[in-house]
A and B are shown apart, each in its own frame.
Chain A
Amino acid sequence: MSDILKALIEIVGERGVSNTPEELWFYSRDPGVLTPHLPDYVVAPRTTEEVRKIVLLANREKIPVVPMGNGMSLTGLVIPLKGGIVLDMKRMNKILEVNAMARYAVVEGGTSQGVLKAYLQEHYPQLRHSIPDAPPTTTIAANAALHGQGRLTQQYGFNSEMVTGLEVVLPTGEVCLIGSPSLGPYWFSRGPTMPDLSALFLGWLGTTGIITKIGLRLYPNKKIRDVELFVTDRVDLIPDILYKLTHLEILEDVNVWFQPKPLMFQGNFHITLYFTGDTEEEIAFKRRMVWDALQEYMDSKDGGFMSVQYMKEMLMEMPQRGIADFADVPKGGGFEYSGPITIIEHFPQYAAKVVELAAKYDVLYASSARLISGGHCMMFSISFAFNRNDPAMMTRVKHALDEATAFALEMGGIPWKPNFMEQKMIMEKMDKNALKLLQMIKNNLDPQGIMNPGNWEVNS
């Protein structure tokens, strides 16, 4: 047994470490199209102290550390590109505190979305968090680490903007409290009125430290939730429609989606509109506001509300499982998406690009855009499904995704949860002094370059 393995066992116990081939095989890949790479060890800590010791060891031995939640970000972000330790955070899954009055929760760095949802439903039914449509096993800290979006993003911004404080193990082993918890017992603010240090970790994809605790804003959970589905066949109208809808300031979530299959969806753009209320009157009032806002499109026959009776159950699911069904249309269960963040005005150009790429690379597409912060921007997903047993199809999807990222950058968008190559494209294009700042931060925080190496490689 190697010294490193022994040291790891000493830290987390035998059941918390593995280097067996079958386990390393699983931790070498994600469900996306990037090439797998084997780690040397998989380690599953249970406490911040264990994480700290692992990082100190890794620092001393110059071993890469890849923090991992559920590994479902799809763009290879937890593939250990340079081997080393995959740090599986899932055993750090406790809910530490809910402050119902200040509406925040504090959870450990491997707590899943599903666990927090179930806990709130049981103990604080009047509260909810912004759950993404990712599988419920995906983790809260990882979602913040990649600037994820959830059901409340239309109203309140990126899920990472809802962070109210962090406990982080720095790449050099220090445990650091960020925000109001650094001054007292309350986790109500990540920074303000101090400099906001959480930005050193959010969006960094685990390359600047390991989040071991995270505070997260909670929001009112209204008694009733409802949905309307507006459809139009004129893509050029979408930005205006979204502008009118966001002007209402009453919508919980807004998704715009289009896909060629099944046939009933072909040729139309669908806007799913969610709204909430505590009474039937409130719901009826909001529904009327939505209908009135879009009446002109009904009058011109360019758009209308589709009956949702038969789809309602599926549309109301949180997270929506139907999204993953798409992966199995070509059989073989693969799907990956590029999800640039962009301005709503560009919806028509992005929509045309999806169709163009799908035709060029002969792959099946689906697209869904989620509005962010009342329409300041949107996440426009360009999703392709593929058969995992068909390497040629996977290569075509990879090319299509690369081209989608290049297009997003050309259009002034920002690739979301970029893979390592896309990160390079971003750094090449970004303002040179901003890149310098990025280098200063990364090199100072992670002098040995051990954190999720291959990602945000600012020096190459």
Chain B
Amino acid sequence: MYALQWKEKVCATCPSADCLLKCQYISFARHDEAHGEMMKVVRGEDSRVLHECATCYACEEYCKRGNHPFYLISERREERGMFTAPRPITNQWKNMTQMQGKYMVGQVKDKALSCCFIPDLGILGTGEIFKDVASAVAFGAEFMCPAVHTHFARMSVIKERLPIVIENFVKLGVKEVICLHDECYGTFTAIASAYGIDVPFKPVYYMDFLLSRMKEMKDRIKPLGIKAAYQRPCSNRLIPDKHPLVKEILDLIGVELPNREYQGENCLCCGEILRSVSGYKLADDVQERNLNDMVQTGAEYCVFNCPACQSSLSEKVAKKGLKPVHIIDLCKMALGEKERGVR
């Protein structure tokens, strides 16, 4: 079984303890308190962090010293037999994402277009932007990144399934896998490397692909001239270096990204997992603050990166008067392939 590669000394001597001091869900008065709790987690002792962490993934971004505090918290919770969400929900996720041989693979050669286990991604990965790779779709639990189980503190599921998913891609003979789901890219890069799991193909982040395709088709872009608030997904915390791509893409298609309180490191997640883990009070509060913050920017659109966020927030943002749209659809709109509007 793979093990989390953890640099204990790096933690022990950490001057910031940013992982916990910046946490939006657990408050600490001072550095020594936060650091002390993290060290308890490191030593495998009980800590309030194990009971209060809302599983937002953010400390993966806050730690700038190469450690993986959130994976460790999840490991420790599992070691203690703890459940973050109710047990039946945890097991349901495990069952729902179980490989059952019901996958779909298109004409894959050296490149695959990974749609994870999210049907909406198959629709997004079409049109001029994806014309060379759209037929190379890989979809299903067999190709799904198992990162979601970190929310449920079931790292064992990840360690068991991730090598199989990687192997499934390898069997297709691919050199590159374009990940349409943010979380897949995060899994093949950040999680795999934290656990020393070899990924023998090149994972490509779809926003890198999108940016380069849009640059290639620059002449065809009709700037949209709109303002859009961005909903950053939890999984993007695993790959913070990719976050600036959003602005680059939106700049290119004439979409203004207004400043708001909950952006960048201070962003708020879509809240749906919080609903399972902590109940509706926290989830409603997070969603309300997040959406009000979007509204006060005067944005016309809410632009999504992750279809799961889009599915949980679309109706809610629409009720606040914003149009929900995926960033790929915004690009398609700029190319004139798609009507301006809601999807």
Contact = CB atoms under 8 A, between A and B. Distances in A.
Interface of A: 231-233, 263-268, 280, 287-288, 291, 295, 297-298, 301-307, 309-310
The secondary structure that dominates the B interface is helix
Contacts of B100: 263
A280 B85 CA distance: 27
16 contacts: A231-B86, A231-B88, A232-B86, A233-B87, A233-B91, A263-B98, A267-B91, A268-B88, A291-B279, A295-B279, A297-B86, A298-B86, A304-B89, A305-B89, A309-B272, A309-B312
A301 B86 contact: yes
Interface in B91-107: 91-92, 95-96, 98, 100
A307 B275 contact: yes
B16 interface: no
B312 A304 contact: no
A105 to B, nearest CB: 33
A213 to B, nearest CB: 43
Contacts of B89: 231, 304-306
Contacts of B311: 309-310
A219 to B, nearest CB: 26
A287 B98 contact: no
Contacts of B95: 263-267
Given A305-B275, A307-B275, A309-B312, A287 B88 contact: no
Interface in B284-312: 311-312
B131 interface: no
B96 A304 contact: no
B206 interface: no
Give the contact-size bracket for chain B.
Answer: 20 to 34
B88 A232 contact: yes
Interface of B: 83, 85-89, 91-92, 95-96, 98, 100, 272, 275-276, 279-280, 311-312, 319
Given A295-B279, A305-B276, A264 B96 contact: yes
A232 B92 CA distance: 10
A347 B100 CA distance: 31
Given A263-B98, A263-B100, A280-B319, A304 B276 contact: yes
Contact of A302 (B87, B272, B312): B87
Given A233-B91, A291-B279, A301 B319 contact: no
A301 B83 CA distance: 7
The 8 closest A-B pairs by CB, nearest first: A304-B86, A264-B96, A233-B88, A304-B89, A231-B88, A301-B83, A268-B88, A263-B95
A58 to B, nearest CB: 55
A263 B312 CA distance: 23
Nearest to B277: A304
**Which residue, of B95, B98, B100, B272, has the highest number of chain A Cβ atoms within 10 A?**
B95
A307 B280 contact: no
Contacts of A233: 87-88, 91
Contacts of B83: 301
Contacts of A301: 83, 85-87
A264 B92 contact: yes
Contacts of B275: 305, 307
Nearest to A228: B280
